[in-house]
């Protein structure tokens, strides 16, 4: 076999893997930069976004820049509340849309995709128009942000939970009823535990969507400043390196949740196999 043919075979075998790795690099380079910059000491020159010196200071004093602490707390508060409300309402809506037949169900199933598909700037500005026309123009703030966030999280929750529900075997609920579980017991013993992974997934998705939303929030926030808005504002005068600390922390928490879940699953499997 000639060298050329062998090379061609080698490339054929490894091309997909190579492309996959390239895509991964493409995705993770920006995150790597954020992690790196969280250890940057930029005291020499505040306006150059460049790694200068290594320091722990950003991590030791993450809330040093003025106003940042409040913005992070506000964002977390809103994200938690919006997640809670959207997950509960969305789960109920998903059950209604997949379990009950009513006039307009098909239309409703289509319409829930609209908030996901329409540009944020359109949703944000129309919400603002709505608030102003209803006379809330002067009271924009925590509540209006929350309402906006619940609105755009809802679609994602409904779609995620519905997917889980449609994958659920009807026979399981019938089997539960056949085995002396009444409607309430069937729901809590069988339906809910099986749909729960979908609900948790939807909640995590809602949290991250809410935490990092800028466009819609910016239009409806009034005087309040969320973390993304703080970063955007700070960017005008040079981003404080502590922003990277928050970014890295969020990333690490997300990875930890995924890893923890995976480890738990594997350990459970191992225990069963033994």
Partner 1 sequence: MSQLHESTTTDRSASGSRDLRLSGLTKEYAAFTAVKSLDLVVPQGSFFALLGPSGCGKTTTLRMVAGLETPTSGTIHLGDTEITYAKPYKRPVNTVFQNYALFPHLNISKNVAFGLERRGVKNVGQQVADMLELVELTSQAHKKPAQMSGGQQQRVALARALINQPEVLLLDEPLGALDLKLRRGMQLELKRIQTEVGLTFVHVTHDQEEAMTMADTIAVMNQGVIEQMGAPNDLYENPTTTFVANFLGQSNLIEAEIQGREGGQVKVRVQGAVASIPAERAHSESGKGWLGIRPEKVLIAEAGQPIDAPGDVITGGFITDVSFVGVSTQYMVKMPWGQELMVFEQNTGARRMLPVGTKVDVSWRPEYAFLLDASQDAKAGIEED
Contacts with partner 1 by CB under 8 A lie at 169, 171-172, 174-182, 185, 189-190, 193-194, 272
Nearest distance in Å: CB 168, partner 1: 10
Q: How many other CB atoms are there within 10 angstroms of residue 216's CB atom? A: 22
Rounded distance between C-alpha atoms, residue 257 and residue 260, angstroms: 5
Q: Is 41 helix (H, G, I), strand (E, B) or coil?
A: strand
Nearest distance in Å: CB 271, partner 1: 8
Select 80 or 194, whichever has its Cβ closest to partner 1: 194
Nearest distance in Å: CB 236, partner 1: 52
Select 1 or 271, whichever has its Cβ closest to partner 1: 271
**Chain centroid, CA 97 distance in Å:** 23
Select 176 or 245, whichever has its Cβ closest to partner 1: 176
Select 58 or 191, whichever has its Cβ closest to partner 1: 191
Q: Do 39 and 58 meet the contact criterion of CB atoms below 8 Å apart?
A: yes
Q: CA–CA distance from 157 to each of 70, 111, 126, 242 (Å)?
A: 28, 14, 22, 32
Select 60 or 103, whichever has its Cβ closest to partner 1: 103
Nearest distance in Å: CB 184, partner 1: 11
Tokens of 76: 């977390």
Select 137 or 167, whichever has its Cβ closest to partner 1: 167
Nearest distance in Å: CB 262, partner 1: 17
Select 177 or 200, whichever has its Cβ closest to partner 1: 177
Nearest distance in Å: CB 178, partner 1: 5
Q: CA–CA distance from 90 to each of 84, 87, 155, 192, 194 (Å)?
A: 10, 5, 7, 14, 17
DSSP one-letter string for 139-191? G-SHHHHHHHHHHHHHHHHHHHHHHHHHTS-HHHHHHHHHTT--HHHHIIIII
Nearest distance in Å: CB 157, partner 1: 21
Q: Do 207 and 83 meet the contact criterion of CB atoms below 8 Å apart?
A: yes
């Amino acid at each position: 076999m000639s060298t050329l043919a062998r090379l061609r075979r080698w490339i054929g075998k490894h091309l997909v893997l190579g492309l996959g790795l390239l895509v991964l690099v493409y995705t993770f380079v920006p995150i790597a930069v954020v992690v790196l910059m969280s250890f940057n000491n930029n005291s020499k020159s505040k306006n150059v976004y460049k790694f200068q010196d290594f320091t722990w200071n950003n991590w030791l004093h993450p809330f040093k820049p003025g106003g940042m602490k409040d913005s992070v707390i506000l964002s977390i508060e809103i994200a938690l509340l919006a997640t809670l409300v959207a997950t509960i309402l969305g789960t109920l809506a998903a059950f209604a849309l997949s379990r009950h037949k009513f006039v307009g169900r098909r239309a409703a199933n289509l319409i829930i995709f609209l908030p996901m598909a329409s540009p944020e700037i359109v949703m944000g500005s129309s919400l603002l128009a709505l608030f102003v026309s209803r006379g809330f123009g002067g009271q924009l703030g925590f509540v209006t942000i929350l309402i906006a966030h619940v609105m755009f999280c809802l679609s994602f929750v409904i779609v995620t939970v519905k997917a889980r529900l449609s994958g659920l075997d009807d026979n399981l609920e019938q089997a539960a009823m056949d085995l002396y579980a009444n409607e309430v017991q069937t729901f809590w013993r069988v339906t809910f535990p099986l749909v729960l992974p979908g609900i948790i997934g939807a909640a995590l998705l809602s949290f991250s969507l809410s935490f990092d939303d800028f466009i819609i929030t910016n239009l409806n926030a009034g005087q309040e400043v969320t973390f993304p808005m703080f970063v955007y504002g700070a960017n005008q005068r040079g981003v404080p390196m502590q922003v990277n600390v928050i970014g890295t922390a969020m990333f690490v928490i997300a990875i930890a949740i995924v890893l923890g879940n995976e480890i738990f699953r594997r350990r459970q499997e191992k225990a069963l196999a033994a």
